[in-house]
Structure 1
Amino acid sequence: MDERSAPLPYPSGWFCVGRVRDLPPGRVRTVRLMGEDVVLYRTRRGAVRAVGPHCPHLGAHFGAGGTVRGEELVCPFHGFAFGPDGSCTGSPDGVRFRGSLDRRRLCERDGALFVWCAPDGGVPAWELPPAVGVRPLAWWSGVDPTHPQEVLENSVDFRHTRVLHGLDTRETAPPEVAGPLFTVHQRTTTRFPGLGAVSLEQPVTLVGLGMMRLAVELPQVGGTLWMWVLPTPLGPWRTRVRVAATAAVSLPGVGSARAVDRAASWAALRATVRILEQDRPVLAHKRYLAQPRLVPGERSIGLFRRWARQFYPGDGPGIHTEPPPGFRSVSAEPEPDAID
C-alpha cells in the first residue's frame, strides 16, 4: 500500500522513536518515521538531536557509518562535521560549506524519545505535557498493518473490550477535550491473582495520535501503575506499537523494593500485550470506514474522530462519521461546537 491509497494520511504530532537508554552519548541510530529515515545521535555532553539522514555535501547516509566527535556529527564519506545547530563546522582538510543538516524537533519524555513530524513540515504546533516523574521498567513493541488513529480509537470502543477481550470496561463520564489532549474516563473490573475481582477507575489521556498514557491507583497493594501505549507510523498503514509500564508497589514487610516493582511492571505489561495480541488479527483484516454506522452508546467514537481531525491537513479527509438515528453528540467542552 502506498501513501496515496492509504485510507488515512499521515497525521502530524509527536511520535516515539525509541527509548532514552538506547541512545547513550556518542551513539548514532537510524529510525523509520512516516516512510523516511531519521538519524538520532547524542553528543558527548548528552545533547540529543534528530536530523535528516543525508549529508548535504554529496548525500552520504549518517546512519551508515556516521560518528559523534565531541558535540559534532561526522559524515562517514568525506569527514564533514556538523555542530548541534546543524551547521557545517569543518572537515579533515579544514574546508567547510554553508549547507546545514535537516534538523527535526526531538524531546525526551517519560524515558522515551519523541520526534515531531508533520506531512507539511513546520514547527511543532503543540508541546508534549510534562513527564509523570517515573520511567518505564518494562517495554514491548510490535509492528502491525494499521494506523495510529486506529490503535488509539480502541480506547473509546468499549463494546469491543467486552466482546473481544472479555473485560467489563465502562465509560463513567463523557470525554474531555483540551486541544491535543483527549481524556477518557472509564472503569474496568478485572481479576488479579490473589486479589480476586478488582475495580479500577482511571482516566486515560491521549496525547495527539502518538501517545496514550494512564496512571492506575492500586489500593489493594498500596501502589500505582503507569502505562503508555505509543503508536508510531513507519509507513502507509504500517505502525510500530510500543507499550511501556512501571509500577510502584508497597507490600507489607517488603516496602517498595526495585525487584518487586519490576516484577509488577512486567506482569502488567504482559497483560496489556495479551490484549493487543487479541486485537492484531482484527487490525490486520479490518477495513477503515470513513462513515461507520455507530449505535447508541458509541458517542465517544464520534467525538474521538472529530477531535482527531486537527492532526491532518485541511478538514482531515476520510475521518467523518455517520451517526445513527437518534444519536446526539455530547461535547465535554463548554462550547457545543468546540470539536466540530
Structure 2
Amino acid sequence: MAKPPLSMTPTGWFQVAWSDEIAVGAVHRMKYFGQEMIAWRADSGQLTVMNAYCEHLGAHLGFGGSVVGEVLQCPFHGWQWNQQGRNVCIPYEDRPNRGRRITTYPVVERNSSVYIWHDIDGREPFFDAPDVFASFEDGSSEADYYPQQRLFEQGHEMHPQYVLENGVDFAHFKYVHGTPINPIFTRHDFDEPVSYVDFTITFEGDDGQRIEDVSSGVEAINGGLGIAVTKSWGMIDNRTISAITPVDDCTSDVRFMVYIGRTPGKETERAAARAEEFGLEVIRQFRQDIHIWAHQRYSDPPALAQSEYQGFTAIRQWALQFYPDGKGGSAAALKAAEAR
C-alpha cells in the first residue's frame, strides 16, 4: 500500500483489546501508536492501560510483571506502580521514587471492548465512545441479542479514515456487497466529534425496484476515527461495531463485532443457529471491505463524481479535527477539485 498522507497518531478513542481478554490479575501485552503497552486488571476489577516499560531500568512489564492487589509489580527489582503510573514502592528503600511516572491512558470498557483515549498532546477526552445499544436511545440492551461474534485481523496496511469514508460511499454497496440498487443517504451530521450517518438500503430484490419502495436501512454513529457503531432496521435485527487502531506508521489492527437480535418467544436452537449464520455473513461482507482498504491508495484529491462531493467533502473536513496538525486530509484539495 502507498503510505497515506494521513497521520497514524490521530486523537480519539481506539480499541486495544476485548474486556474478556484481561481477567483479574492478568497482564496483557499489545503495541499501538508505535508504543509497547500493557493492560492489567487489579483485584478490584479496575483496568489500567500504560506504556510497557518500567521507569527504573526499563524492564518490559508484560513479561513477568504481576498484579499485587491494586498495583503492578516489576519482575526485575520488585518496584510497584499504581493505576496512575506512579511508583508507590521500592522494596529495598524507605520511600518510592516520586519523580518518575509511566504514561497511562484514559480507559473505558464498553461494547465488551477496551478503549483507550489517544492524544499526543496529552489532552483529556473531549467526546465519548459510542455504545452500540445505549447510543441509539431505543431501550435495547445486550440481553436482547445473541452473543457477540467477532473478527480480529492484525497488521493491515490501512488507515482508520478509510473505514469512516466508507460510511458516505453509496456507490460501493452495489459493486462490493451486491446490493440491487444504490442506497440513499438520509442523514449526514458532521457537526460534532461524534457524527451520524443514516441511509436507506436493501440487500434483496432486483435493480428494477425503486429506492422509494425500500423499507430498510442503517443508522451509524461514528465516535471519531476509531469506532463506528451501526443499527439496522427493516431487515434482520443486527448491531455492529468496527474499530480500527493504528499499530505503527503503516499498519492498523481491525476488529469487527456483530450482534444478531433475539425474537421473543422463538428462542430455539434453530433460531440461534440461523443467527450465527447471519452474523458470519455480516462479517464476510465486512471482510470484502477490508480487502479493498488493505490495498488502497489514499487519493487526494479524489476524482469524484458530482453526486459524491457532498458526502466526501463533509467527512474529510470533519476528520481534520482528529489530527495533531489539523492537516490529516486535504479538504482544500477536495474543494479545489470540485471547483474544476
Equivalent residue number for residue 30 of structure 1: 29
Cα separation, 2, equivalents of 1:29 and 1:306: 36
Equivalent residue number for residue 142 of structure 2: 134
Residues 185-204 of structure 1: pairs in structure 2 closer than 5 A: 185-191=198-204, 199-204=215-220
Q: Does 2:52 align with 1:53?
A: yes
- Change in CA separation of 1:166 and 1:145 when aligned onto 2, cut-off 3 Å: same
After superposition, the C-alpha distances for 1:201-237 in whole angstroms (9 at most, x for unaligned) are 2211111001110122357x7xx32111111111123
- Change in CA separation of 1:66 and 1:32 when aligned onto 2, cut-off 3 Å: same
Correspondent of 1:269 among 272, 279, 283 = 279
Superposition TM-score, scaled by structure 2 size: 0.83
Q: AA paired with 1:273?
A: I
- Change in CA separation of 1:139 and 1:64 when aligned onto 2, cut-off 3 Å: same
Work out whether residues 295 and 324 of structure 1, in 8 Å CA contact, stay in contact via their aligned partners in 2: no
Cα separation, 1, equivalents of 2:129 and 2:215: 30
Work out whether residues 174 and 300 of structure 1, in 8 Å CA contact, stay in contact via their aligned partners in 2: no
Superposition TM-score, scaled by structure 1 size: 0.83
Structure number with the higher strand fraction is 1
- Change in CA separation of 1:85 and 1:282 when aligned onto 2, cut-off 3 Å: closer
Equivalent residue number for residue 326 of structure 2: 315
Cα separation, 2, equivalents of 1:304 and 1:261: 38
Cα separation, 2, equivalents of 1:51 and 1:190: 44
Q: How many residues align?
A: 316
Offset at residue 59 of structure 1 (A): 0.9
Equivalent residue number for residue 7 of structure 1: 5
Offset at residue 264 of structure 1 (A): 5.1
SS of alignment partner, residue 65 of structure 1: coil
After superposition, the C-alpha distances for 1:176-206 in whole angstroms (9 at most, x for unaligned) are 12411221111221149xxxx9852221111
Moved more, 273-282 or 231-240: 273-282
SS of alignment partner, residue 142 of structure 2: coil
Cα separation, 2, equivalents of 1:48 and 1:183: 30
SS of alignment partner, residue 285 of structure 1: coil
- Change in CA separation of 1:130 and 1:157 when aligned onto 2, cut-off 3 Å: closer
Q: AA paired with 1:126?
A: F
Q: Does 2:222 align with 1:206?
A: yes
Equivalent residue number for residue 338 of structure 1: none
Equivalent residue number for residue 171 of structure 1: 184
Work out whether residues 12 and 119 of structure 1, in 8 Å CA contact, stay in contact via their aligned partners in 2: yes
Work out whether residues 70 and 83 of structure 2, in 8 Å CA contact, stay in contact via their aligned partners in 1: yes
Cα separation, 1, equivalents of 2:291 and 2:232: 28
Offset at residue 281 of structure 1 (A): 3.9
Cα separation, 1, equivalents of 2:116 and 2:338: 42
Residues 37-48 of structure 1: pairs in structure 2 closer than 5 A: 37-48=36-47
SS of alignment partner, residue 276 of structure 1: helix
Unaligned runs of 5+ in 2: 134-140, 206-212
Offset at residue 123 of structure 1 (A): 2.2
SS of alignment partner, residue 322 of structure 1: helix
Residues 295-314 of structure 1: pairs in structure 2 closer than 5 A: 295-298=305-308, 299-314=310-325
Moved more, 160-169 or 109-118: 160-169
Offset at residue 325 of structure 1 (A): 7.9
- Change in CA separation of 1:15 and 1:326 when aligned onto 2, cut-off 3 Å: closer
Cα separation, 1, equivalents of 2:271 and 2:25: 31
- Change in CA separation of 1:202 and 1:151 when aligned onto 2, cut-off 3 Å: closer
Equivalent residue number for residue 288 of structure 1: 298
Q: AA paired with 1:291?
A: P
Structure number with the higher helix fraction is 2
Equivalent residue number for residue 78 of structure 1: 77
Identity rate, percent: 28
Offset at residue 271 of structure 1 (A): 1.9
Q: AA paired with 1:151?
A: V
After superposition, the C-alpha distances for 1:297-320 in whole angstroms (9 at most, x for unaligned) are 212111111110110123324332
- Change in CA separation of 1:317 and 1:88 when aligned onto 2, cut-off 3 Å: closer
Equivalent residue number for residue 101 of structure 2: 100
- Change in CA separation of 1:48 and 1:166 when aligned onto 2, cut-off 3 Å: same
Work out whether residues 110 and 131 of structure 1, in 8 Å CA contact, stay in contact via their aligned partners in 2: yes
